[in-house]
Amino acid sequence: MSIKKPQTPQVRSYDEWCTLMRQYEAENTTIKAFCQQRKIVESTFYRWLSVLRNDGVISQPSQSNAVQSEVPPKSSDFLDIGAINLNQSSSLELRLDLGDGVVLTLSRR
């Protein structure tokens, strides 16, 4: 019996993401289909889409383009929780107000 190793995610450079985004813009497909064809995690695609739009590399979506309209609204707010260096005795509480009275609370005690 052989044991398969889990696949390691492909690490792409900034330039590779620029190329992928230009390919996406040139194709008439959905983000979901584009990501499935290239084995890209959709959340990673959306993150890079946001980064490259903020950098001006990728154009902002037009209201008339149905394929691009599936992209969530642009947000420059990003919190990398992995960057918070906490030792084992530290506690953390993170509250996110999602609107309409919905609050998400994450805590570590």
Write the pLDDT tens digit of every residue in 58-93.
877 654 444 444 555 555 566 565 555 566 666 777
In-domain check, residue 65: yes
Domain count for the chain: 1
Q: Which residues contact 39 (CB under 8 A, 6 or more apart)?
A: 10
Smallest CA-to-CA distance from 92 within 79, 102, 81 is with 81
pLDDT tens digits, one per residue of 20-43? 999 998 988 899 999 999 999 999
In-domain check, residue 89: no
**Which structural domain range is residue 26 located in?**
11-77
Provide the whole-model pTM.
Answer: 0.50
In-domain check, residue 108: no
